Amino acid sequence: MKELHINTFAPRKPHATQKLVLDALDKGQRFVMIRAGRKWGKTSLMVSWLFEKAFETGLVCTYIAPSRKQAKDIVWTDHIQRMINELKRNKIPYKPNETELSVTLPNGGKVQLHGVENKDALRGISNWGAVAMDEYDDWEEDIYPTIIRPNLITHSAPIIIGGTPKGFRNLYKIDKNPDFKCFHFRTHDNPDIKPEELKSLEREYMDMGMGYYRQEILAVYEKPYGIVYEEWPLENFVSCPYDPALPLYMSFDFGVNDPTAIVWVQRLGGEYHLIDYYEANNADVGHFSQVIKSKPYKTPELVCGDPAGKARSITTNTSPIEEYRKAGIYIRVKDGVKIPEQIRITHKYIKSLYVDIMQERFRELILNYRYPKKSEVLINQSNEIPVHDGYSHGMRALEYLFVNLDVYTPPQISYKSIPKFEPGDPTIGV
């Protein structure tokens, strides 16, 4: 459909660093990630590329924003209108549909906008010719691997994932994915921004703090705003393997509809070594008991957990703690400690916490466990309570451990006298 080709970047041309991305795509790179500062030109590149792919393939080429409102207010009213003007200028017929936020081209190709908040509507789509995912750090972390990625299979559709980083979240994971060619650009790399505008933008972000400036302008991975344990040193992510000579502790955060999370921690003097972490959703006590007993660790000196584990199920009339006790796992609970207090206690220990380098998932939890922004706080809700999301469960398990350790008196025995735990050992914990 050469006769339908238009300059999708009109009225400008792609700038030098945008060309780097487009060259990689033209050479057959299927998976691309763009980590870029504000106003670099990420969204305009995505939309322009999607129109090129719609002309080329005659398939649906999809742009997905964190919300449908964002897709409509920013992309439809600006970038899509720019493309419509270019179609008009070249006298190429098109069919806009503002209800579904789409533009259909004469060859049947379509560019369509979506918001990811209605993620179920994105399942099972087989006619995608190309996909662009914008502001990926605002997405739920499981949407790409479980929903978007399977939809790319039918036509081997290429994809651009982009955004400005917000801590060590989704973009950070993609940066480590060998399938992706990852680009990193600063706001400064857009030559179309006037120098005075760039200086003004820099000042605004610097006024909010160097962390904001580095994140929003330089697109550097930084600890996110409002992180609960911002004092945790990044250099504490080191090798700290299991040592049978050291005390071993285990702690739970119980979930019903949410994941259950378990941490294993050892103490070396004033240091605490997180050696293992496990979480799973929709799994019963039998599953977790088996996971625990499969670990090559000795019997923990202390097992503790969430007070919610004492709540009895309406259907079974038993509590998780009772069920674990039947499995030989005895869990200690400290009642009456509210979340702000357990966080205060954990602050006393967090600088001394070392996370084993094999526990990348737990590093993510620490770096993304945060307080809500003002806009996220509901009526009658305290902003002293961290956001309850995929990052909070493991952190709660760690907090319950430190709450119990804060009042724990170790047994007066030699740790060397504790036998190595073997699967089938009838009791775990005290």
The 10s digit of each residue's pLDDT in 50-86 is: 999 999 999 999 999 999 999 999 999 999 999 999 9
Residue 222: the pLDDT is 81
CA dist 87 and 65 (Å) reads: 24
Judge if 2-216 and 234-417 fold alike in CATH terms: no
Q: What is the pLDDT of residue 429?
A: 47
How many CA atoms within 13 Å lie on the side-chain side of 288?
Answer: 30
pLDDT at 378: 63
Each domain of the chain, given as residue ranges in start order, spans 2-216, 234-417
Phi-psi region of 175 (alpha: psi -120 to 50; beta: other; left: phi over 0): alpha
When computed from its CA atoms, the radius of gyration of the chain, rounded to whole angstroms, is 26
Question: Cα torsion at 333, 256, 363, 330 (round to 10°)?
Answer: 30
**Dihedrals phi, psi of 4, to nearest 5 degrees:** -95, -5
Using DSSP, state whether 367 is helix, strand or coil.
helix
CA separation for the pair 149, 212 (Å, rounded): 31
Q: How many CB atoms lie within 10 A of CB 428?
A: 22
CA–CA separation, 33 vs 25, rounded Å?
Answer: 11
How far, in Å, CA of 368 to CA of 224, rounded? 7
Q: The pTM is what?
A: 0.66
- Which ranges of the chain have pLDDT less than 70? 1-6, 224-225, 374-383, 411-430
The rounded distance, in Å, linking the Cα atoms of 285 and 292 is 10
Superfamily of segment(s) 2-216: P-loop containing nucleotide triphosphate hydrolases (3.40.50.300)
d(CA 397, CA 262): 6
> What's the fold here for domain 234-417?
Nucleotidyltransferase; domain 5 (3.30.420)
Q: Which three-class secondary structure state does DSSP give residue 225?
A: coil
